[in-house]
């Protein structure tokens, strides 16, 4: 069961407590709610208290990072709080690609002359793409938040760097390993040799062949060699941007053959490799002791204790301290999804890049902002009832509230009571 974070009356983090104890403190008036998600209480009288050794653990991933807080008592180590943090790297990348498309279309139109910028925009040392840096920032944000709510004494993270060549060919070694799979080959020549100099879809030979993306770039495909094949112009045009499964649904044998020739995508692996050491650097920035462990040790600890595969479970099992740890079968982690803190785009544009909406208005309306968690009590009328959820504000003061079940429209701001400000994350 998840523990409740506890703060002193000076907002100093104390030892997390059981939910039942938190309810008793709230009922007796000795505490008040400081934050709803994750649930945190503020003691009204107590200033200090004894604490145990608490270890904050991370299992970094491309799409989801596991977080766990482990209490090391005198007799047993126990996972007292856990969460799965879902990143938004793909959303950041798509937003940047849309921005780039609009910018390039503006440059190509017959508009007034614009002087070119000076070519002095140099990337600093340690620069990462925004879609990758968002993963690092998410981990850093929750490290800082948890440390402000909980007396963490040490940090631990799984430090794993994947060998992408070994993942594609386990037997690669020597000079072949040093030079890579395309040493001495051009991409086109490599693909011609790989697929027998014939179209992979219709087996046509002795005709001009074109490089074709198995997963279309419009569907998230990359230019990596493992996503490229050779096809004739007719098949290439016919496939267009269809997924290969849809295009070859009437040719299962061809699909099976192509699937065996292709290699798995290493996009997620590359993201982990790019961010892992930057994440470690950020965790070490505040001077707290940080230790690292391998992925094989995490897997060994989890299998030895017969725990299911999950990101937060892996986080709890990281390093030697995860070799003997108690995780309750009823423990349900907090699911955190990064949503961003609003768009910086001033107005929406049409497919040609021209503005189609007015300039962005202020974020705050009547003291509320889109994404805030509110409680609305409507005493009468068609919308009579009590609603709790995230609000979408309008300048008219008539808001929408998204509950767990549905979205209620047209709730007046006078009936809304703020529960928690939006912080860029969605919880479940």
Q: What is the 3-state secondary structure (H, E, C) of the chain?
A: CCCEEEECCCCCEEEEECHHHHHHHHHCCCEEEEECCCCEEEECCCCCCCCCEEEEEEECCCCEEEEEEEEECCCCEEEEEEEEEECCHHHHHHHHHHHHHHHHHHHHCCCCCCCCCCCCCCCCCCCCCHHHHHHHHHHHHHHHHHHHHCCCCEEEEECCCCCHHHHHCCCCCHHHHHHCCCCCCCHHHHHHHHCCCECCCCCCECCCEEEEECCCHHHCCCCCHHHEEEEEHHHHHHHCCCCHHHHCCCCHHHHHHHHHHCCCCCHHHHHHHHHHHHHHHHHHHHCCCEEEECHHHHHHHHHHCCCCCCHHHHHHCCCHHHCCCECCCCCCCEEEEECCCCCCCCCCECCCCCECCCCCCCCCECCECCCCEEEEEECCCCCCEEEEEEEECCCCCEEEEECCCCEEEEEEHHHEEEEECCCCEEEC
Note down the domain range covering 408: 373-427
Q: Which of 265, 300, 329 is the last residue of a domain?
A: 265
Q: Taking a C-beta distance cutoff of 8 angstroms, is the pair 254, 201 a contact? A: yes
pLDDT in tens, the chain (428 residues): 799 999 999 999 999 999 999 999 999 999 999 999 999 999 998 888 888 889 999 999 999 999 999 998 877 899 999 999 999 998 999 888 888 887 777 777 767 776 777 777 788 888 999 999 999 999 999 999 999 999 999 999 998 766 666 666 666 666 666 666 666 556 777 788 788 888 999 988 888 889 888 888 888 888 877 788 899 999 999 998 888 888 888 888 888 888 877 765 677 888 888 899 999 999 999 888 899 998 888 989 999 999 998 999 999 999 998 999 999 988 999 999 999 887 777 788 787 777 888 877 778 899 999 889 999 999 998 889 999 999 999 888 999 999 988 999 999 999 999 999 999 999 98
Query: Two tokens at 117?
Result: 């910028």
Is the full-model pTM beyond 0.85? no
Query: Two tokens at 338?
Result: 């990064």
pLDDT for residue 263:
65
Q: Is residue 122 part of a domain?
A: no
Q: Is residue 411 part of a domain?
A: yes
Instruction: Say which CATH number the domain at 190 has.
Output: 1.10.30
How many independent structural domains does the chain possess? 3
pLDDT for residue 175:
64
Same domain, 307 and 333: yes
Q: Is residue 11 part of a domain?
A: yes
Same domain, 71 and 144: yes
pLDDT for residue 359:
76
Q: Is residue 353 part of a domain?
A: no
Same domain, 175 and 242: yes
Gap between the Cα atoms of 85 and 203, Å rounded: 46
Same domain, 224 and 175: yes
Same domain, 150 and 184: no
Burial class (CB in 10 A: 0-12, 13-18, 19+), 217: exposed
Q: Taking a C-beta distance cutoff of 8 angstroms, is the pair 293, 158 a contact? A: yes
Burial class (CB in 10 A: 0-12, 13-18, 19+), 116: exposed
Same domain, 152 and 191: no
pLDDT for residue 184:
57
Same domain, 34 and 51: yes
Q: Is residue 52 part of a domain?
A: yes
Same domain, 71 and 19: yes
CA dihedral 31, 34, 39, 45 (to 10 degrees): -20
Query: Two tokens at 267?
Result: 């996009």
Instruction: Say which CATH number the domain at 296 has.
Output: 3.30.420.40
Same domain, 295 and 404: no
User: Does the CA dihedral 177-180-185-189 come out positive or negative?
Assistant: positive
Q: Is residue 279 part of a domain?
A: no
Same domain, 255 and 320: no
Same domain, 256 and 312: no
pLDDT for residue 79:
95
Query: Two tokens at 131?
Result: 């879609």
Same domain, 81 and 146: yes
User: Does the CA dihedral 134-138-143-148 come out positive or negative?
Assistant: positive
Q: Is residue 117 part of a domain?
A: no
Query: Two tokens at 329?
Result: 């079968």
The strand pair at 64-72 and 53-59 is best described as antiparallel
Q: Which whole-number Å values give the CA distances from 359 to 331, 343, 348, 353, 355, in the listed order?
A: 47, 12, 9, 15, 9
Q: Taking a C-beta distance cutoff of 8 angstroms, is the pair 338, 88 a contact? A: yes
Gap between the Cα atoms of 172 and 188, Å rounded: 22
Angle between helices 267-283 and 130-149 (to 10 degrees): 40
Q: Is residue 280 part of a domain?
A: no
pLDDT for residue 177:
66
What's the CA angle centered on 301, arms 19 and 270, to 5 degrees? 95
Gap between the Cα atoms of 206 and 197, Å rounded: 8
Q: Which of 265, 296, 326 is the last residue of a domain?
A: 265
pLDDT for residue 161:
67
Gap between the Cα atoms of 373 and 419, Å rounded: 5
- How big is the chain, counted in residues? 428
Cα 25 to chain center, whole Å?
Answer: 35
Cis omega (within 30 of 0) for bond into 357:
no
């Amino acid at each position: 069961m998840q523990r409740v974070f506890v703060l002193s009356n000076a907002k100093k983090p104390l030892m997390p407590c059981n939910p039942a104890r938190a309810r008793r403190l709230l009922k007796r008036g000795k505490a008040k709610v400081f934050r709803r998600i994750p649930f945190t209480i503020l003691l009204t009288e107590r200033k200090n208290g004894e604490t145990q050794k608490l270890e904050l653990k991370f299992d970094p991933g491309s799409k989801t990072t596991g977080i766990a807080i482990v209490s090391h008592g005198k007799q047993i180590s126990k996972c007292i709080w856990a969460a799965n943090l879902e990143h938004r790297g793909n959303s950041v990348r798509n937003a940047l690609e849309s921005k780039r498309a609009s910018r390039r279309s503006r440059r190509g139109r017959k508009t007034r002359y614009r002087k070119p910028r000076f070519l002095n925009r140099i990337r600093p040392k340690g620069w990462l793409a925004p879609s990758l840096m968002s993963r690092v920032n998410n981990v850093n944000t929750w490290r800082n938040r948890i440390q402000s709510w909980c007396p963490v004494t040490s940090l631990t993270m799984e430090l794993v760097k994947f060998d992408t060549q070994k993942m594609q060919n386990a037997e690669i070694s020597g000079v072949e390993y040093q030079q890579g799979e395309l040493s001495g080959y051009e991409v086109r020549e490599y693909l011609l040799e790989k697929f027998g100099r014939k179209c992979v879809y219709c087996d046509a030979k002795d005709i001009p062949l074109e490089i074709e993306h198995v997963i279309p770039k419009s569907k998230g495909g990359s230019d990596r060699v493992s996503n490229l094949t050779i096809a004739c112009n007719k098949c290439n045009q016919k496939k267009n941007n269809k997924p290969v499964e849809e295009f070859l649904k009437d040719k299962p044998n061809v699909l099976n053959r192509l699937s065996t020739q292709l290699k798995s995508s290493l996009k997620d692996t590359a993201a982990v490799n790019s961010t892992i050491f930057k994440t470690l650097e950020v965790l070490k920035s505040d001077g707290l002791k940080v230790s690292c462990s391998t992925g094989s040790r995490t897997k060994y600890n989890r299998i030895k204790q017969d725990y299911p595969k999950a990101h937060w479970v892996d986080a709890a099992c990281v390093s030697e301290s995860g070799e003997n740890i108690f995780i309750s079968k009823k423990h349900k982690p907090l699911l955190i999804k990064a949503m961003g803190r609003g768009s910086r785009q001033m107005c929406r544009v049409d497919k040609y890049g021209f503005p189609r909406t007015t300039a962005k208005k202020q974020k705050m309306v009547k003291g509320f902002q889109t994404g805030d968690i509110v409680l609305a009590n409507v005493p009468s009328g068609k919308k009579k009832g009590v609603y709790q959820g995230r609000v979408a504000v309008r300048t008219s003061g008539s808001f929408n509230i998204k509950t767990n079940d549905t979205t209620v429209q047209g709730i007046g701001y006078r009936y809304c009571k703020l529960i928690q400000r939006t912080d860029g994350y969605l919880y479940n």
